[in-house]
Structure 1
């Protein structure tokens, strides 16, 4: 998904995505660590007051559950709301309101042509699973990419901006891109950190 952009903008999109991801993870850690007495003071969404009392209470209990991360709590709350009858379920925001990078199990360009049929079947099953949130779909697809053997990784197209990097840097990033000891997300974080640390005249 972060490599869907070609040309000179590809690095900017890459940096934008990782900055977004890091901020999201930091925020999740902060909210996950809040004590219950502070969580209880946080405002609920506007539609909350229109929900049935038992649903309101259920949501309150989930928000207080420190055995889950803040993100996991919200996923559970969304699942409860989605399961409500149509006449009492709050409407979701119209399409296009969502801010941030695209989600939902998207693959970088060229991957579908390279990945084996059985792998693509798993990816498509995840994409079509309406019980999963877009973020959960992306996580599951990244898990699949993390498990790919080196012989398949070597066939995957590299991010477009790699070709503009100095040869030693490109070789180093290519090795990280194919490092099966790291998860897919860890590889891209490491690549991002290296690109960010380059002198300005070496950045693509």
Structure 2
């Protein structure tokens, strides 16, 4: 079975063509830590004991296939009483939205007999319909940190700054959002001339100089957040002529490196499909990998954890 822990890595890789030159960006995709459990910590005091027991059993079942796991997770969630459903919080990025909008989001996610894709589309339509000022209340998702720091940065930043960044990276007490906030503060404290020396990620260095210069200008702009830099870089990538886009090789995560070339090509094609959103890309890739012969999956993913993390189900449910 395709290792569920590759899920987070896949989501990061899906946006690999727009990774910034910040530390921890564009240097491959390492293991992001052990699964955090069968459900979020803030569900602990809300879920009834039988639901928690069922989610734990589902979490510990290593033999069940992905589609069946998702369906069983949905069945458990649908079986909750309305009182419990009303208490479950929306994902952190939506919690600053007006309560009425949060209720609508939960109504979509708990709607029976609606596919996950249909629910994602309904959520997207709802978010897109919100006034611009309201949409600003949605917090950007922060991507997990990669496995290591780009070593080439140490010569540019110096050992003191590099050490500070490394300490943030290795601090297990900080959430991804807190880590990114610390990284941004450190990077914004540096002179612009130092930031301008930092190289772009390897997969963007193949671009013509004029496009690299545009991206570099975004990266050294201290008025922009990391998320804004990612978005603006993505927009530049989207506008590139097709022959130049083809120069950018999608940086696949390690858990996909051992796949047959034909499968890697199919995965890369999905990555590049701009008509698909992040969730759709992940689902298509996952479906593709689930169809591989067992011996291929075993040889390709033998080093990956087979224990599913709660966000395998929860992030897709919400």
Higher relative contact order (CA 8 A, sep 6+): 2
